Chains A and B, each alone.
Chain A
Amino acid sequence: MTAAVLELRDVTRHYGGKRQWLGRGAAIRAVDGVDLTLAAGEVLGIVGESGSGKSTLGRIAAGIEAPSSGMVTFQGQRYAPIDTAAWRRQRRRVQVVFQNPSQALDPRLTIAAQIRGVLAAHGIEALERGVDRTEAILSRVGLTGLGTRFPHQLSGGQLQRAVIARALVLSPEVIVCDEAVSALDVSVQAQILNLLKDLQAELGVAYLFISHDLGVVRHVSHRIAVMQRGRIVETGPASEVFARPQDPYTRSLIAALPAATPAARRARDAARQAA
């Protein structure tokens, strides 16, 4: 097995004391005793229903949020305390791509200016062997010539490409993708999934790929972890988890999936009727 790039050991995150409509202030265990290993160049999918703790886990893995307890190591080193210089150096290696690209970008700056800004912030030269890094990454994600546009001048799919470019220009080892294609239309989602897959194969970057869409996760992931109420109830190779789910919760998720075709629906309904 290849070396682990990211490791989580017994990670827990509580959110406590908040007022709620039922009862008051019982702590929420958003993430509850999670062990997880992401190998270099691996795509690990995280699935689970709304509120199961996927995004919280993603933020902790990316080092944006500290766990309440447990340990996160990136390339064998614990994350430095948030907002220190050492932390910023580590953050360069672990990037995030969220669901809503228009919120992730600065509406007042062109796409190219934002990418140049990120390079400058990390002290990286604008040129690499005479080639403009910004232009190169923009054309790599399919935005050739669009660097001079402002975010409002781009479509949702183009914006997500810009966010991916901004993450990639720092040559990260890991990208945490949290519902990165969920807000996109099917045809655009397919384009972005192709791009993410190509980049992964080409650059060997690892993804922690979070999505509530099991079909999308199966398509991109090598391995899958299923989350329920803050815990990981099952992990395994993507095809295994869907073909032979072991945990009852995973089975209930799969049983609830809408049928792929009307014929599959009729076959399923007939089988259920017979049972």
Chain B
Amino acid sequence: MMPSFVPTSGAGSAGASTVLPFGADRAADAMPPVLSLEGLTVGSDAVDLVIDASLTVAPGETLCLVGESGCGKSLTCLAAMGLLAEPVRRKAGRIRFLGRDLGELDERDLRQMRGRDMTMIFQDPVASLNPVQRVGWQVAEALVIHEGLSSKVAARRAVELVDKVGIADPEARAGAFPHQLSGGMCQRVMIAMALACRPRLIVSDEATTALDVTTQAQILTLMRRLQEETGTAMIFVTHDLSVVAEIADRVAVMYSGRIVETGSVDDIFDHPSHPYTQGLMDCRLHALSATDGRLAAIGGTVPRPSARPLGCAFRTRCPRASQRCAITPDLRPIGSSQRVACHFPGRAQ
């Protein structure tokens, strides 16, 4: 029996010629990074919005991208997905995904990769879903397009996926429209869609930010569990450091378009070395820790991309700034897994 949410006409005609069977040759090249950005600069003609960003994500690894609004997290993700749109474009650097240079692929190849090999989950699941299509079909569609499954088989897989992401009564829920589901359920559907083709990379941009803590906890657990099962690499964008503590293996901290510090999640929490990372750590609040009095807030505000100070962009707010900071610091290794872009890294005396 065909599940009832499958549209009766016009669907599933897309060709899927170069599809590989699940897991076939995908485990073979497990060692090299799934994604690497090499000196990526993104911006419009007038201004650079992401500057000289380099990072890698390995299979099964979660890299958290953290930083305050406007620092370039979303643009970095969009660039990695080949989704930048005019007037913003890649101005320099390279993006390698599974060893291939994204810049050398045409839009057709990219579209084929997206949804199959790399998928993105956004903050607002309701806006990302098609309001007039049953959610089960939205999950199934990727399987028809990318895996060449028949509508019938795809629909059955979709129900399995909806079940797998923890939605009760999956048969019935798959037949629902997005507005008939809560925000948390819609986000689970987005995850089901993202997982449909067992991608090598999932990019999650503030995917749990709008959710209540209990729903957020369930989604984080779900993503971790599914990632353990599938070995998918994940870029997880958040501005919430306790979400980072929950899900990250490695962390990249961004400030005003640049990656200013990277390291293992323990490096970043145990010995943050960039003054900005330290500032973020110092103004964390957690319901289970008592705080007294005032917070050690970072003074001032983030400069607009068009009005960054010369040299280190944190200079206008940094308690450690000195003349040398008029020269842009490179991202340099300190310790085995940590790198920091600061002339005076480490804890202040």
A interface residues with partner B (beta carbon < 8 Å) = 21-22, 49-50, 155, 157-158, 185-191, 193-194, 197-198, 212-219, 239, 242, 252-265
Does A186 contact B68, Cβ atoms closer than 8 Å?
yes
- Max chain B Cβ within 10 angstroms of own Cβ: one of A213, A253, A254, A256: A256
A155–B27 CA distance with the chains assembled, in angstroms: 48
| Interchain CB contact (< 8 A) of A217 among B179, B287, B296 | B287
Distance in angstroms from A228 CB to nearest chain B CB is 11
Q: Which residues of B contact A219 (CB under 8 A)?
A: 285, 291, 295
Does A254 contact B245, Cβ atoms closer than 8 Å?
no
Q: A185-B68, A190-B298 are in contact. Are A254 and B287 (CB under 8 A)?
A: yes
Q: Which residues of A contact B283 (CB under 8 A)?
A: 186-187, 189-190
- Chain A residue with the shortest CB-CB distance to B240: A258
A242–B213 CA distance with the chains assembled, in angstroms: 15
A157–B269 CA distance with the chains assembled, in angstroms: 26
Q: Does B349 contact A (CB under 8 A)?
A: no
Residues of B within 8 A of A (CB-CB), count: 42
Q: Does B107 contact A (CB under 8 A)?
A: no
Q: Does B328 contact A (CB under 8 A)?
A: no
Total cross-chain contacts (CB, 8 A): 114
| Interchain CB contact (< 8 A) of B265 among A187, A213, A262 | A262
- Chain A residue with the shortest CB-CB distance to B282: A190
Q: Which of B275-330 contact A (CB under 8 A)?
A: 279-280, 283-291, 293-299, 301-302
Contacts A21-B179, A21-B180 given; 14 further ones with Cβ under 8 A?
A155-B301, A185-B302, A187-B283, A190-B283, A190-B296, A197-B294, A218-B291, A242-B288, A256-B217, A258-B243, A259-B246, A260-B242, A263-B266, A263-B269
Q: A158-B301, A187-B298, A188-B301 are in contact. Are A265 and B239 (CB under 8 A)?
A: no
23 A–B contacts from the bound complex (CB under 8 Å): A49-B213, A50-B212, A155-B301, A185-B69, A186-B239, A186-B280, A188-B301, A189-B283, A191-B297, A191-B298, A193-B297, A214-B287, A217-B287, A218-B285, A242-B288, A253-B213, A254-B287, A256-B216, A257-B217, A261-B245, A262-B248, A263-B269, A265-B246
Shortest beta-carbon contacts, A-B, top 3 = A215-B285, A190-B297, A190-B283
Q: A212-B212, A217-B287, A256-B213 are in contact. Are A187 and B68 (CB under 8 A)?
A: yes
Q: Which residues of A contact B288 (CB under 8 A)?
A: 242, 254, 257, 260
B interface residues with partner A (beta carbon < 8 Å) = 68-69, 179-180, 183, 212-214, 216-217, 220, 239-243, 245-246, 248, 265-266, 269, 279-280, 283-291, 293-299, 301-302
A63–B215 CA distance with the chains assembled, in angstroms: 32
Q: Which residues of A contact B298 (CB under 8 A)?
A: 187, 190-191
A155–B293 CA distance with the chains assembled, in angstroms: 25
Distance in angstroms from A275 CB to nearest chain B CB is 16
Q: Which residues of A contact B285 (CB under 8 A)?
A: 213, 215-216, 218-219
Does A190 contact B295, Cβ atoms closer than 8 Å?
yes
Q: Which residues of A contact B284 (CB under 8 A)?
A: 186, 215, 260
A158–B302 CA distance with the chains assembled, in angstroms: 12
Q: A21-B180, A256-B216, A262-B266 are in contact. Are A218 and B245 (CB under 8 A)?
A: no
Distance in angstroms from B121 CB to nearest chain A CB is 18
A250–B297 CA distance with the chains assembled, in angstroms: 29
A174–B240 CA distance with the chains assembled, in angstroms: 30
Does B301 contact A194, Cβ atoms closer than 8 Å?
no
| Interchain CB contact (< 8 A) of B245 among A198, A217, A260 | A260
